[in-house]
Amino acid sequence: MIKFENVTKIYPGMSSPAVDKLSFTVPTGEICTIVGPSGCGKTTAMKMVNRLIDATDGAIFVLDERGDMSNVLKIDPIQLRRSIGYIIQQIGLFPHRTILENIGTVPQLLDWDEARIRRRAEDLVTMMNMPVEFLDRYPHELSGGQRQRIGVARGMATDPPVMLMDEPFGAIDPINRNILQNEFLRLQQEIKKTILFVTHDIDEAIKMGDKICILNVGGFLEQFDSPANILAHPANEFVEDFVGADRALKRLNLVRVEEVMNARPPLIQTTQNVEQAAGFMAEQGIRFAYVVDADRTLKGYVRVRDLKGKTGWVDEFVEPAATTIPLTTSLKDALSEMLVVDYANVCVVDAQNRVRGLIDTNMIHEAVIESAAAAEGEEA
């Protein structure tokens, strides 16, 4: 848990505050994104947690090892920083140290023995989907995205309960950023850290945050709430402008396909013959269907018109599916994927490529209407 209580920061020689009477609480195990226009005090707010900057007024509390909330000003800054994960843009890796030494920075400061550091580093790079050989490389020998993952791994080296991330995915291209965001969200499901995540990108804030803290220039808190609530009920005009006119569409970011998909889709088995398959499709009133084998692994799809007047086994007529969607994909990503391949419906698969459901544009539409209604209902 991280708790801000009336925190104010006025830089020396400045008349107006950079952060103004900020109060909010990040519950244990949740991600809170801080978002706002450039210069609104996001970084300042974050750095006050590990005392890279000291607050002028107010207090910040974090949960310590004993499970008590303690004021960060009462903790020795060096000790405090070593106990909090700190992740900044890729430029923060030490160029003269190998990946192993980079990840091992804090463990080394805490005097872990070498074998333990290596073991931990190996676990971390594996967790980040990278080969352990990377450990002996130097940062300049990695791609931007890989460096970014190492940055995250370094922040988690000692498994700190609280982490601070300042635009951690800021310096990479949108495609890789999306991949990293998804990877990190999946990871967070397991590690359940308490995270303060700074970004200037409202889409990222909505996607990553369990809570969003929207700041205005001058460090003034405009709204602190869950993404769904902020999208449904922007507190004021500033927030409304900031989240953008397409906030209805943005809500698609908040729902995962597994929540709305048809979990019992009509499927054809590879063991069926052509007549059976054609009959099944006619019965269901569909013009094509996905084909799976005995353990529901996706094989592709068949079309009614391809089967017309043919005999034999279905496998001969199977065409490979152009795309599939993982269970945890957001509706927004699913929709964009469907628009790209121009399919009316797409298979939702799990990590082993087994079909878990089917999603189409109608389901997405209904989900949007439902979530809007739910939000209205809450308000009422």
Partner 1 sequence: MQAEKTQTKAQNRFWRELLDGWMNVLTQPNLDTFRAQRARADPLKTVLGVGLLGLVLGLWALAIKPATLVTEMRTEAILIDLLRMIFFTEADFFIISLLLFFIARGFNGIGSFSQQSYLLSLVTVPLGMIVVAFLFVGEKLGLTLTAVLNPLSPVGVAGIFVILFALYGFLLLLFALQAAHEMQSSAVFYTFGTPLVAWGILRIASMFAAGEENVITTQWAFIADQWAKGTAQELLLGHLWLVAFSVSIAVVLGVTIGVFITWPAQRPRLSHLVILIPLALFLLLWAASSGLLGEGMADQIASTTKDWSRSLKRIDNLYFGPLLAIVAAIIAKPAAVGMIVAVFTIILYALFLAGEKAGDLTLYIAGIILTIPSVALFGAMIKPLGIGPFNAAFALILYAQLPILRNTYTGIKAVTPEIVEAGRGMGMTEAQLLLKVKLPMAVPVIMTGVRVSIVMLIGIASIAAYIGNDTLGQYIFDGITRAQEKRYYAGAILVAILALAVDYFLGWLQGRLTPEGLKGRREAA
Ligand X SMILES: Nc1ncnc2c1ncn2[C@@H]1O[C@H](COP(=O)(O)OP(=O)(O)OP(=O)(O)O)[C@@H](O)[C@H]1O
Cβ 360 vs Cβ 344: under 8 Å: yes
Is 347 a residue that touches ligand X (CB under 6 A)?
Answer: no
Chain residues 136-155 in contact with partner 1, contact rule CB under 8 A: 138-141, 154
- Residue 374 CA, chain-centre distance (Å), reads 24
Closest distance to Mg ion from the beta carbon of 255 (Å): 30
* Those residues with Cβ within 8 angstroms of residue 307's Cβ, 6 or more apart along the chain or in another chain: 274, 277, 278, 281, 317
Cα-based distances in Å from 191 to 85, 110, 194, 368? 13, 21, 9, 30
Helix (H, G, I), strand (E, B) or coil at 164: strand
> According to CB under 6 A, which residues from 18 to 57 bind ligand X?
18, 38-44
Question: Shortest approach of ligand X to residue 330 CB, angstroms?
Answer: 24
The piece of 29-37, 97-105, 173-181, 188-196 that touches partner 1 (CB under 8 A) is 97-105
Task: Select the binding partner of residue 78 from Mg ion, partner 1, ligand X, none (C-beta < 5 to 8 A, by kind).
Answer: partner 1
Buried b (16+ CB within 10 A) or exposed e, 220-259: bbbbbbebbbbbbebeeebbeebbeeebeebbbbbbbbbe
Considering beta carbons, is residue 38 or 79 the nearer one to partner 1? 79
Q: In DSSP terms, which residues pair with 69 in a beta bridge?
A: 63
Least distance from C-beta 172 to Mg ion, angstroms? 17
Between CA 141 and CA 295 the distance in angstroms is 42
Q: How far is the CB of 167 from Mg ion (least distance, A)?
A: 7
Beta carbon of residue 43, minimum distance to Mg ion (angstroms, whole number) = 3
Cβ closest to Mg ion, residue 43 vs residue 371? 43
Answer for which of 67, 95, 131, 377 binds partner 1 (CB under 8 A) is 95
Please pick, from the candidates 4, 20, 30, 81, the single residue that binds partner 1 as defined by CB under 8 A: 81
What distances in angstroms separate CA 56 from CA 1, 52, 53, 64, 224, one per listed residue? 22, 13, 9, 22, 22
Q: DSSP letter string over 195-238?
A: EEEEES-HHHHHHH-SEEEEEETTTEEEEEE-HHHHHHS-SSHH
Q: Site for partner 1 (CB under 8 A): which residue of 4, 61, 86, 242?
A: 86
Q: Summarize as ranges the residues that interact with Mg ion (CB under 5 A).
A: 43
Q: Summarize as ranges the residues that interact with partner 1 (CB under 8 A).
A: 47, 50, 52, 78-83, 86, 88-89, 91-98, 105-106, 109, 138-141, 154, 164
Q: Summarize as ranges the residues that interact with ligand X (CB under 6 A).
A: 11, 14, 18, 38-44, 200
